[in-house]
Amino acid sequence: MNNSLMTFVRNGHFQNCLKCSIAAVQPGNRSFHTSNPERQIARKYVVKNYFQGPPKRSDFDIVEHELPALKDGEILVKAELISVDPYQRAYNLRSKLPYTQYGYQLGVVQESKDPNHPVGSRVISLKGWRDYSVINTSSHPFSDFYKLPDLQGLPNEYAMSAVGMIGATAYFGLLDICKPKSGETVAVTGAAGAVGTIVGQIAKVKGCKVIGFAGSDDKVEFLEKELGFDKAFNYKTANIGSALKSAAPEGIDCYFDNVGGEISSTIIGRMRNFGRVAICGSISSYNEDPRKMPKATILQPSLVFRQLKVEGFLVQRWAGPENRWPEAFADITKWIKNGQMKTHHHVTEGFENIFDAFTGMLEGKNTGKAIVKV
């Protein structure tokens, strides 16, 4: 009997082996049958529902399955760090169900049929919420699969944050789109999160005045005292208009928008002539029903009379043919090493706890980059 396609589902939802119809295991029981004890058994989170409001545990199954033997050009990777990110919420409606939860992970090569990726080397991939995976090393664009960059002695967590997709987002979104000049004023929302903390600090490196908005008094203190933001506000309690008037009476030159919604309309309404806005994300709307999106103050008068430039972006733009991500990695590593930048990691332990880390991040429990160590 060939059991190689055997798939069991955990979390109280079970299905039979796809090929041999052997009954499913009991809840939480890790036992499984396999025709080949050499084959690696892997676990992955499968999303089976379109989320309604905040994602629920019952929207996911943890599925155990047997990995195939390696072919030439493939590697077997064991995940060590797994990233939880807002886009995993935002892209849910765009993905065909069911799907394995994609996202960045850092893993170590356990078996290799590619001499460029020997056993023991480390890779970054979009394999997401899986503990083991087989990767064909030649079938991915740079941003989906690459060797662990030279972190110059920094811990591997940095490859999931500042020296990874997150750092590239902050770097190119701010420097290529907002183009801040020394002496200008930069505002950033989602300021205490993964992207926001790096945006604010790059702006400081470039000689700007930086104003951040985050969701708690502790985060405000962290931004001002730890990261050197000139001023930070708790957007849940502050009057945003008055806060901006007091902190930036001259107006805002650059706005890095991570959250969207009314706070963004208020900030854009206080921009100076020829200000630049980089639209990175709109997390304030990710849990909303897309048919009933919240309304925010109309922007056109500010855009026209202040002659503002507004541009949305996806960070993969800079991983295209020119592949500029390494440029961001090199500058950011330099700034961290010479003390101009700090990166905070919010680490959760355990493959079983990825869901909690994910929803915790969406609720704002993280300061800096939310990562799961497995």
Give the footprint of ligand NDP on this chain (CB under 6 A). Answer: 85-87, 90, 166, 169, 190, 192-196, 214-216, 219, 258-259, 280-281, 283-284, 313-315, 361-362, 364, 366, 370
Tokens of 327: 């440029």
Nearer to ligand NDP, 46 or 362 (CB): 362
C-alpha 352/C-alpha 98 separation (Å) is 19
CB of 205 to ligand NDP, least distance (A): 18
CB of 223 to ligand NDP, least distance (A): 10
Nearer to ligand NDP, 109 or 180 (CB): 180
Nearer to ligand NDP, 193 or 269 (CB): 193
CB of 115 to ligand NDP, least distance (A): 33
C-alpha 207/C-alpha 258 separation (Å) is 22
Q: With 0-12 CB in 10 A as exposed, 13-18 as middle and 19+ as buried, what is 121?
A: middle
Nearer to ligand NDP, 149 or 193 (CB): 193
Coil vs helix vs strand at 182 = coil
C-alpha 274/C-alpha 305 separation (Å) is 10
DSSP 319: G
CB of 122 to ligand NDP, least distance (A): 22
Q: State how beta strands 369-373 and 74-83 pair.
A: antiparallel
C-alpha 119/C-alpha 77 separation (Å) is 9
Angle at 159 between CA 169 and CA 227, to 5 degrees: 65
CA distances from 205 to 77, 116, 182, 192, 283 (A): 37, 36, 9, 17, 26
Nearer to ligand NDP, 284 or 348 (CB): 284
CB of 166 to ligand NDP, least distance (A): 6
C-alpha 117/C-alpha 41 separation (Å) is 21
CB of 346 to ligand NDP, least distance (A): 8
Question: Measured in whole angstroms, how far is the alpha carbon of residue 245 from the centre of its chain?
Answer: 32
Q: Which residues, 6+ apart, have CB-to-CB distance to 292 below 8 Å? A: none
CB of 196 to ligand NDP, least distance (A): 5
Facing residues of 193 across strands? Answer: 368
Tokens of 20: 């041999």
CB of 75 to ligand NDP, least distance (A): 26
